[in-house]
Amino acid sequence: MKDKHGKPKQEEAEQREDAPSTNEEVAALRQEAETAKKENEDLLGRLQRVSADYANFQKRFNKQINASVAYEKDKVIRSLLPVLDNFEHTLKAHAGEKTDPLVQGVEIVYGQMLDILKSHGIEQIQAVGEKFDPARHEGMLRREEPDKDDGIVLEEFQKGYMSNDRVLRPSRVVVNKSEQTGDQDTDAAEPASEQEDEVE
Protein backbone atom coordinates (compact mmCIF):
# COMPACT_ATOMS: atom_id res chain seq x y z
CA MET A 1 0.00 0.00 0.00
CA LYS A 2 1.01 3.58 -0.60
CA ASP A 3 0.16 6.69 1.44
CA LYS A 4 -1.34 9.81 -0.05
CA HIS A 5 2.13 11.06 -1.05
CA GLY A 6 2.85 7.93 -2.90
CA LYS A 7 5.54 6.53 -0.49
CA PRO A 8 5.25 2.97 0.73
CA LYS A 9 4.48 2.60 4.42
CA GLN A 10 7.47 0.28 4.79
CA GLU A 11 9.90 3.12 3.94
CA GLU A 12 8.29 5.37 6.54
CA ALA A 13 8.74 2.68 9.15
CA GLU A 14 12.41 2.26 8.25
CA GLN A 15 12.99 6.04 8.57
CA ARG A 16 11.38 6.01 12.01
CA GLU A 17 13.65 3.13 13.05
CA ASP A 18 16.76 5.00 11.79
CA ALA A 19 15.97 8.18 13.82
CA PRO A 20 16.99 6.79 17.26
CA SER A 21 20.22 5.45 15.77
CA THR A 22 21.12 8.91 14.43
CA ASN A 23 20.47 10.51 17.84
CA GLU A 24 22.77 7.99 19.49
CA GLU A 25 25.53 8.77 16.99
CA VAL A 26 25.20 12.50 17.68
CA ALA A 27 25.36 11.90 21.43
CA ALA A 28 28.44 9.70 20.96
CA LEU A 29 30.11 12.39 18.83
CA ARG A 30 29.38 15.00 21.47
CA GLN A 31 30.87 12.75 24.14
CA GLU A 32 33.99 12.23 22.04
CA ALA A 33 34.29 15.99 21.49
CA GLU A 34 34.02 16.63 25.25
CA THR A 35 36.64 13.96 25.94
CA ALA A 36 38.96 15.42 23.31
CA LYS A 37 38.46 18.91 24.77
CA LYS A 38 39.35 17.70 28.26
CA GLU A 39 42.43 15.90 26.93
CA ASN A 40 43.52 19.04 25.11
CA GLU A 41 43.06 21.12 28.26
CA ASP A 42 45.04 18.57 30.26
CA LEU A 43 47.84 18.55 27.69
CA LEU A 44 47.88 22.36 27.64
CA GLY A 45 48.15 22.45 31.43
CA ARG A 46 51.03 19.96 31.36
CA LEU A 47 52.76 21.97 28.64
CA GLN A 48 52.44 25.16 30.66
CA ARG A 49 53.86 23.44 33.78
CA VAL A 50 56.77 21.99 31.81
CA SER A 51 57.43 25.40 30.27
CA ALA A 52 57.42 27.06 33.72
CA ASP A 53 59.70 24.35 35.14
CA TYR A 54 62.12 24.81 32.25
CA ALA A 55 62.16 28.59 32.72
CA ASN A 56 62.90 28.14 36.44
CA PHE A 57 65.62 25.62 35.60
CA GLN A 58 67.25 28.11 33.23
CA LYS A 59 67.22 30.80 35.93
CA ARG A 60 68.71 28.45 38.52
CA PHE A 61 71.28 27.19 36.04
CA ASN A 62 72.36 30.74 35.12
CA LYS A 63 72.64 31.67 38.80
CA GLN A 64 74.73 28.58 39.51
CA ILE A 65 77.01 29.35 36.56
CA ASN A 66 77.43 32.97 37.68
CA ALA A 67 78.12 31.87 41.25
CA SER A 68 80.71 29.33 40.08
CA VAL A 69 82.44 31.88 37.85
CA ALA A 70 82.49 34.44 40.68
CA TYR A 71 83.90 31.86 43.09
CA GLU A 72 86.70 30.84 40.73
CA LYS A 73 87.44 34.49 39.95
CA ASP A 74 87.71 35.35 43.64
CA LYS A 75 89.91 32.31 44.18
CA VAL A 76 92.36 33.46 41.49
CA ILE A 77 92.38 37.03 42.83
CA ARG A 78 93.08 35.83 46.39
CA SER A 79 96.09 33.90 45.12
CA LEU A 80 97.48 37.14 43.63
CA LEU A 81 97.06 39.25 46.77
CA PRO A 82 100.37 38.14 48.36
CA VAL A 83 102.13 39.30 45.17
CA LEU A 84 100.52 42.73 45.54
CA ASP A 85 101.58 42.77 49.20
CA ASN A 86 105.18 42.12 48.18
CA PHE A 87 105.08 44.95 45.66
CA GLU A 88 103.74 47.27 48.35
CA HIS A 89 106.38 46.19 50.90
CA THR A 90 109.11 46.75 48.33
CA LEU A 91 107.87 50.26 47.56
CA LYS A 92 107.65 51.12 51.28
CA ALA A 93 111.14 49.80 51.94
CA HIS A 94 112.53 51.96 49.13
CA ALA A 95 110.30 54.98 49.65
CA GLY A 96 113.30 57.33 49.59
CA GLU A 97 114.61 55.97 46.29
CA LYS A 98 111.96 57.28 43.90
CA THR A 99 114.60 58.04 41.25
CA ASP A 100 115.87 54.46 41.20
CA PRO A 101 114.80 52.92 37.85
CA LEU A 102 114.16 49.57 39.53
CA VAL A 103 111.85 51.15 42.11
CA GLN A 104 110.09 53.09 39.37
CA GLY A 105 109.59 49.86 37.43
CA VAL A 106 108.11 48.11 40.47
CA GLU A 107 105.79 51.08 41.04
CA ILE A 108 104.61 51.00 37.41
CA VAL A 109 103.89 47.25 37.51
CA TYR A 110 102.12 47.58 40.86
CA GLY A 111 99.92 50.39 39.49
CA GLN A 112 99.11 48.40 36.37
CA MET A 113 98.04 45.39 38.43
CA LEU A 114 95.75 47.57 40.56
CA ASP A 115 94.22 49.07 37.39
CA ILE A 116 93.60 45.62 35.94
CA LEU A 117 91.95 44.46 39.16
CA LYS A 118 89.83 47.60 39.26
CA SER A 119 88.60 46.91 35.72
CA HIS A 120 87.30 43.58 37.07
CA GLY A 121 85.54 45.16 40.05
CA ILE A 122 88.36 44.57 42.55
CA GLU A 123 89.29 47.52 44.76
CA GLN A 124 91.33 48.15 47.89
CA ILE A 125 89.40 48.69 51.12
CA GLN A 126 89.82 52.13 52.66
CA ALA A 127 91.03 51.75 56.22
CA VAL A 128 93.27 54.44 57.76
CA GLY A 129 91.17 57.31 59.10
CA GLU A 130 87.93 55.33 58.67
CA LYS A 131 85.63 54.11 61.43
CA PHE A 132 86.41 50.50 62.29
CA ASP A 133 84.01 48.19 60.43
CA PRO A 134 84.21 44.51 61.48
CA ALA A 135 82.76 43.51 58.12
CA ARG A 136 85.73 45.06 56.26
CA HIS A 137 88.46 45.42 58.89
CA GLU A 138 90.24 42.91 61.10
CA GLY A 139 91.47 44.52 64.32
CA MET A 140 94.95 43.35 65.24
CA LEU A 141 95.87 45.87 67.97
CA ARG A 142 94.37 48.77 69.93
CA ARG A 143 96.40 51.89 70.51
CA GLU A 144 95.57 55.11 72.30
CA GLU A 145 95.79 58.43 70.48
CA PRO A 146 93.79 61.04 72.47
CA ASP A 147 93.54 63.50 69.58
CA LYS A 148 91.56 60.97 67.49
CA ASP A 149 88.07 59.56 67.93
CA ASP A 150 87.55 56.18 69.48
CA GLY A 151 87.26 53.32 66.98
CA ILE A 152 89.17 55.11 64.21
CA VAL A 153 91.66 53.02 62.26
CA LEU A 154 95.14 54.38 62.98
CA GLU A 155 97.34 52.08 60.96
CA GLU A 156 97.06 49.35 58.36
CA PHE A 157 99.23 46.25 58.60
CA GLN A 158 97.82 44.62 55.48
CA LYS A 159 95.55 46.02 52.78
CA GLY A 160 92.14 44.51 52.28
CA TYR A 161 90.35 43.98 48.97
CA MET A 162 86.73 43.82 47.85
CA SER A 163 85.17 42.22 44.79
CA ASN A 164 82.10 44.33 44.04
CA ASP A 165 80.15 43.93 47.31
CA ARG A 166 82.09 40.92 48.62
CA VAL A 167 85.10 41.11 50.92
CA LEU A 168 87.97 39.08 49.47
CA ARG A 169 90.25 39.86 52.38
CA PRO A 170 89.67 42.26 55.29
CA SER A 171 92.21 44.95 56.12
CA ARG A 172 94.37 44.14 59.14
CA VAL A 173 94.45 47.28 61.22
CA VAL A 174 95.31 49.07 64.46
CA VAL A 175 92.26 50.69 66.08
CA ASN A 176 92.25 53.74 68.33
CA LYS A 177 91.10 53.31 71.93
CA SER A 178 90.49 56.68 73.53
CA GLU A 179 91.24 57.37 77.20
CA GLN A 180 87.56 58.07 77.85
CA THR A 181 86.58 54.64 76.59
CA GLY A 182 89.22 53.05 78.78
CA ASP A 183 87.84 54.83 81.88
CA GLN A 184 84.32 53.68 81.00
CA ASP A 185 85.54 50.10 80.63
CA THR A 186 87.25 50.30 84.05
CA ASP A 187 84.15 51.79 85.72
CA ALA A 188 81.98 49.16 84.15
CA ALA A 189 84.25 46.40 85.42
CA GLU A 190 84.16 47.53 89.08
CA PRO A 191 80.51 46.59 89.83
CA ALA A 192 81.16 43.15 88.34
CA SER A 193 84.03 42.59 90.81
CA GLU A 194 81.88 43.73 93.74
CA GLN A 195 79.13 41.39 92.63
CA GLU A 196 81.57 38.47 92.55
CA ASP A 197 82.65 39.30 96.17
CA GLU A 198 79.03 39.26 97.31
CA VAL A 199 78.45 35.85 95.75
CA GLU A 200 81.42 34.41 97.62
- Tell me what pLDDT residue 186 has: 33
Phi, psi of 132 (to 5 degrees): -60, 125
Contact 161, 120 (CB under 8 A): no
The model carries a pTM of 0.59
- Tell me what pLDDT residue 158 has: 92
pLDDT in tens, the chain (200 residues): 445 555 555 555 555 555 556 878 888 888 888 888 888 888 888 888 888 888 888 888 888 898 888 888 888 889 999 999 999 999 888 888 878 888 899 999 999 999 999 998 899 999 999 999 999 999 999 998 888 889 999 999 999 999 888 899 999 999 998 765 444 443 433 333 343 344 33
Structural domain boundaries in the chain: 72-120, 123-189
Could you tell me how far CA 18 lies from the centroid of its own chain? Answer: 74
d(CA 82, CA 158): 10
CATH match of 123-189 with 3.40.630.30: no
Phi, psi of 120 (to 5 degrees): -105, 15
d(CA 151, CA 162): 21
